[in-house]
């Protein structure tokens, strides 16, 4: 998603922030936040995608 936002923005030559937010269904603040991120921060954010959920302890019970 982050790379798609950056591609649509294209260093200011592409779509405006509002148009990107509307097209992708995100808030303008989220689009702005992702545009301000550098490549190192993007890699860190994408590498920590697995989060612990509150219902993980009950997964076996729920699934069966």
* Tens-place pLDDT, residues 22-35: 999 999 999 999 99
pLDDT band at 18 (very low <50, low <70, confident <90, very high): very high
pLDDT of residue 63: 85
Per-residue pLDDT, averaged over 44-48, amounts to 73
Any idea which residue has 């509150």 for tokens?
54
Domain that holds residue 14: 1-61
Number of domains in the chain: 1
């Amino acid at each position: 998603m982050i790379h798609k936002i950056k591609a649509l923005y294209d260093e200011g030559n592409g779509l405006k922030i509002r148009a990107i937010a509307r097209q992708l269904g995100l808030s303008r603040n989220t689009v702005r936040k992702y545009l301000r991120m550098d490549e190192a921060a993007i890699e860190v954010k994408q590498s920590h995608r697995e989060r612990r959920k509150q219902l993980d302890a009950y997964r076996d019970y729920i699934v069966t």
